Structure formats: structure tokens, C-alpha cells
Amino acid sequence: MSLNQNRFNLILALHNHQPVGNLPEVFENTFEQAYRPFVEVLAHHPEVKVTLHYTGILLEWIEKHRPEFLDKLRQLISRGQVEIMGGAYYEPILPIIPDEDKKGQIRLLNDRIKELLHTVPQGMWLAERIWEPHLARPIASSGLRYITVDDAHFHEVGFKDLYHYYLTEEEGWELCIFPVSEKLRYLIPFRPVEEVISFLHQQLYHDKGDLLVLADDGEKFGSWPETYKAVYLEKWLDRFFTALGEHRDWLRTVTFSEYMELEPPEGPVYIPAAAYREMKEWSRGYWRNFLTRYPESNRMHKKMLNVRRRINKMPESKNKEEAFRYLWAGQCNCAYWHGVFGGLYLNFLRSAIWENLLKAEELAESQLQRKEHWLEIRVKDFDYDGHKEAVVASDRFSLLFAPHLGGSMWEMSWRPAAANFLDTLTRRPEKYHRDLVEQESAPSEERREKNGGVKSIHDLQGVKESDLQNHLQYDAYPRGSLIDHFLPSEETGMEDFKKGKYRDDAGILLQPFTMELRRLEKRSEQASLIFRRRVSRNEYDFLLEKEVMFQAGSDRFRVNYTLENYSSRVLGGRLGVELNLAFMSGYSGDRYFHIPGRHLENNYMASEGAEQEVETLEMYDDWRGVVIALNFNYPVLLWRFPVETVSRSEEGMERVYQQSVIVPQWQLGIPPGESRELTLDVDFRFKAQEYPGGSKELTTEGVE
């Protein structure tokens, strides 16, 4: 006789989240399309119980913009219809942040839930269901009893029939784990109600257990493509809840805490580091692979860890508490990876991470430094790639240089604006690019299946531009700044350069340079990094020296190039310096190029062009109120063009502006035995200022 032939238990859990930095209209639209209508339908079906999770980011928005929604939630909680699940406040990938941050974020959300909803969470939503075995201890020691992970986690260690919940431990800290049914994730709400009920009824006829769990994104109930019409206008959710009520003689909805009172767990069980099936495909098996696959993600993550070390050195104070809040906001997971959602490819999400990390860093440094103007250069392997980098930190800048990559720059953060203008992205192949080339996307009216169901977001192949495949382009090298190019005199034009199709005859592109730190003994507020490479290749024999000069209190840094020709021939060609600068929007009227004394017919950030005899280029970011000016000691040939990626998001594949490429070039023509100095000044200021903030001019006094 089956143990569960009389009654089967179903847990319905929804995770509701919006990332730090998401657009205001996304919060608004998703609330109206998914969060609000779900709760309204649920309120009309008191016999149905669900568990709901809201991240701290979303709760803050609801409290500010829709406080009446909290009243509805409190009513449902008080009548036992809703259990509220906790989690980490800013929805980080839990394994990649320090344990104290794990516990701090969990407790912060628990406190806010208790304050706003008058209930105490017993379990937590694990961001992206990214599990690693050590998590049991920080979660359990934060006062929580259970989490959910996907059934795929259990399949990896031989579990097949998952109709229970289980118990694991780490160093004696106990944690219950509920497996989530992938089958239900693809049935609800995409298949007809009758098909879902039929599947659930089939679960009665075995003796493996009496529980299945659906735990998935709340946005799939209304804000995923095509779902609002199906779920609410065509009343899928109302009919589903009605069917659950009609079949309550054998099918019961319960909450996690309620079921834990009814049945004990099975265990012990130990499951490996894992994630849901789709995530494993995107990450190539292991979430941390995103940090290898996308160096941009790795730099954000390592910046976060470095900022945290600075915060740890602060004395206990309100400033330290505030710095931790900014740091935790900078741990929000969405910008660190990419799958079916825009994630890392969405520049405004990355920008929000950098903004919060820089605000945290500013609070830490302003308290740790003992004077108003200061400058430090720290040499270490910042990104754990086996090579040492140089971090230049001052009261105005946070800069990162890589000697092993030609002394190129990989962070250019200006503290007054809390912005990293090197928040750039390299174009690389993605699996769905092949799909885009091989098949035309189905029109939106064909997305719906003939039997009345709706395709899951994982199955959609929509595009937002008809000729999107023509914009597929990949970079031959990573995109940073102060990337040096030696270009043959007339052989390389801008189109070939854009495509990476030019000969690097001198062999300097991102090649290792030596590095020397030079600091004035009597004026510690000024220093420079000197990168050198002797080029002896083909007919070339010259020394390339790049000195980057900094001064405390100044919003300017200077890059001074010296080329010494050791050969018996004139050193011809052009020296080009590539700068990738991120302005978040390529087509907005409030971000644009300006060359004093000239009219640029197209001056928006995604425009392209070649200008001769340029002495100054200004880039205006009116949205941030910032102006970046490049000043050259000799007039240059100046190329500019955008970097745009083709990426996948909820609505389909789309083109996204990532950054603008600016390439000033000096014609050389250096006779044998002679040298030439070429200088680039990079100035930052707020638009309201006549001169760069800080007012100090960078001098070369005392620098050899």
C-alpha cells in the first residue's frame, strides 16, 4: 500500500527580486505585472498556501512606493496563508562573499522582515540556488532552519526519487534542504492547468514520499514574456488556485515550516557544489567559472574583496556601518554573471555595483587616511591571475595598472563621482550567437504554443532588431585603456583597426613591460609609474617608455611617452593609445563628444569618426555632471567608435552599448639616435566647474 495515496503535499514558493541599479520603470512594471496581481489573486483563494521571498532591495522599493502592499502581505501572513522566507539582503552569490557578510546580510533582512511584516523567517532563499557545502554553517548560525536547492543538486550524488526534505550539517551546524522539482518549474505556469493537476495526481501512486516543491522566480507570473496575458488576463493563476481547492481531498498546499512540523527530515545528506541545470550550462558546470570566463566580473569581485579589507581596518563607527551597507549592495549578484537575463551585459547594473563599492571605499579611505590629500601606490596581484598589478589610490582616484599587459589600465575610478569610467566589456562569443546566425527568430505571435501554453523564458529565441546578426563582432584582445598600438604609417585605417585587422609589427600590444615606481622623497604626495619595453623586432629597434604621473589632490593624471630610436633607420609609423571609456548610454543627448572650435555633426557616444589635428577632446556626461578632457602636447589623428555587444535578455537578444573607443595617434618620424616625448593629460571635472576639481596642477618638479 502506498504511503501517500490519500494525500499529497505541494509547497509553492516564489522568489521576488530586482537588482541594485535596475531601472525605475522595471521596478514599477514588474510590480504591476507580477507582484501585485499574484497577491491579489492569492487573497481570493484562502485555501491555498504559499511561501514568498522578497529581497531587501525590493522591500525597500515597496516600502517607499507601494506601502499598502505590505498591509496585504501582513493580512495573508496573519491568517496563516503566507510564510515569508528570508535570505541575504542584497541577494549576493553567497559562496563568494566572506562569512561575516553572509551572516550580516541574512540578519539584516530578517530584521527588516520582522519590522515590516511582523514575522520571523525560518528559512532562506539561496540566490540562484548556488550551493557549496560550507554554507550550512553561516546560514544555520544566523538562526535559519532550511533552504531550497534544485533536484539537480541531489541527482549528482545519486538521488532519483525526491519526495522528502533532507538534513545536512557543517561542523555540527544543522540545516534542512528542500529539493525543488525542475519538472514543476517547466509546468508552472507554462502548461495548461489540467496538465499540471494530472502530473500532481500521478505522484499519488508510488511509495517514495508525499512532497513536491516548486520554488522559482515570482517574475515568471506576469513579467516574463507572454505570461501576463496567460496568467492574469486569461486567468491561468486563478484557475490553478481554484483547481487546487477543488482537489484538496488529495492535494494539500503547505508552507515549509508547516511541513517540517508534520514530517521529520531524512539524512544526513551531503551534496556537492552545484546549481540548477540551466545555470550549470551557462557557467560550464560551476558558478565561479564566471569569474574566469568574464575578467570584468572578476575585477568587480576582487575590488569588492579589497574594499572589504579596507573597511575591516576602520574603527567601529556609524561610518563603518554605512560602508558595509554600500559594500553589501555592491555584492548583488546580477551584474556578476550572464545567462538568460542581461546580467553582466547590462551596463547600468555593473555601474551600480561600482558606484556602491566606490562609495564604500571612499568612506573607508577618508577615515583611514590622516590628511585631506593623499596618494598611495600598492603593488600586488589584485585579480589573482598570477601577475602583480599596481593600484594607485588617492583622495581623487582609484586606478589599476597591469605591467604584464603593457602598463595598460583596468580601473579608472574618479572618487568625486563614485564612477569607474573603465567599466568596459570585451566582446566575446556566446552560445546563442550561433543560434542567431543559424536560424531566424520566431515572430512573437509564434511564441505561444498551439495548446494554449506559453513557452518558458529559457525556450524563447526572440530578437529586438531584425538585422542583429550583422552586429556580431568579437574583440581580438581585452578592452582596457592606455593600450599602446604601433601602427604602420598609411596601411591601417579605422575600419581595419575596429575589426582588429592590422599588423602589430613592433610587437607591443599588451606585451609585458618592466615597471618602476618613482616617488619624490620630500614630496610624498607626487609619484609616477614608469613602464618600459625595448623593441627589437623586424626592422625596429627602439625603447618605449610610458610614465604615468599622479599627484594627491589633483583630478588630473599625465601620461608621458618617450620613444628612443636605436636603429639606423627613421622610426616611422604612428603611436596610437587606445582608451575605452564607459558612459552607459551611446545614443542619449546628454552624453557627447566635443572638440573645442569644431562642430561634430554626430557627437553622441556611439558615433564614430576620424578627426585630424586634434589638440583637445572633451567628453561630456551630463547625466553624471562629469567632463573628461584629453589634452595632447602635439596635435593627433583621433579615431572614435563604439563597442556594442549582442546579448540575451528577458525580451530576447539585443544590442547594448558598452563603451566608446578613443584612439589618439601621433605621427612619429624619429631620426636614428633621437627621441621624442608625447604627452597625454587626462582631466576630470564636474560640468559646473570651470577647471578640474581639486585645483592642483600636476607638475614635474623633482621627478627625474
Catalytic residue, chosen from 217, 226, 385, 615, is 217
The rounded distance, in Å, linking the Cα atoms of 472 and 282 is 19
The rounded distance, in Å, linking the Cα atoms of 201 and 187 is 14
Decide: helix, strand or coil at residue 579.
strand
Characterize the bridge pairing of strands 481-487 and 574-581. antiparallel
Decide: helix, strand or coil at residue 226.
coil
The rounded distance, in Å, linking the Cα atoms of 253 and 212 is 10
Catalytic residue, chosen from 83, 91, 128, 547, is 128
The rounded distance, in Å, linking the Cα atoms of 373 and 395 is 6
Q: What is the three-state SS of 40-74?
A: HHHHCCCCCCEEEEECHHHHHHHHHHCHHHHHHHH
Catalytic residue at 383? no
Query: Given the C-alpha cell 540545516, which residue does it identify?
Result: 175
Q: Rounded to the nearest 5 degrees, what angle is found at the Cα of 51, between the Cα atoms of 49 and 56? A: 150
Closest CA to 499 of 475, 483, 468: 475
Catalytic residue at 101? no
The rounded distance, in Å, linking the Cα atoms of 458 and 75 is 35
The rounded distance, in Å, linking the Cα atoms of 24 and 667 is 48
Tell me how crowded residue 144 is: count the other CB atoms within 10 A of its CB. Answer: 21
The rounded distance, in Å, linking the Cα atoms of 19 and 334 is 6
Asked if residues 640 and 662 have their Cβ atoms less than 8 Å apart, the reply is: yes
Asked if residues 613 and 598 have their Cβ atoms less than 8 Å apart, the reply is: no
Closest CA to 225 of 522, 448, 1: 448
The rounded distance, in Å, linking the Cα atoms of 520 and 638 is 34
Closest CA to 268 of 180, 170, 146: 170
- Cell numbers of 547, please? 610614465
DSSP letters spanning 281-323: HHHTTSTTHHHHH-HHHHHHHHHHHHHHHHHHTSPSSHHHHHH
Residue 661 class from Cβ within 10 Å (0-12 exposed, 13-18 middle, 19+ buried)?
Answer: buried
Maximum CA pair distance of the chain?
96
Cα–Cα distances in angstroms (integers) from residue 177 to residues 87, 216, 264, 499, in the given order: 14, 15, 12, 50
Give the burial string for 293-306 (b: 16+ CB within 10 Å, else e).
bbbbbbbbbbbbeb
The rounded distance, in Å, linking the Cα atoms of 146 and 693 is 52
Q: Rounded to the nearest 5 degrees, what angle is found at the Cα of 268, between the Cα atoms of 262 and 270? A: 125
| Active-site residue set | 128, 217
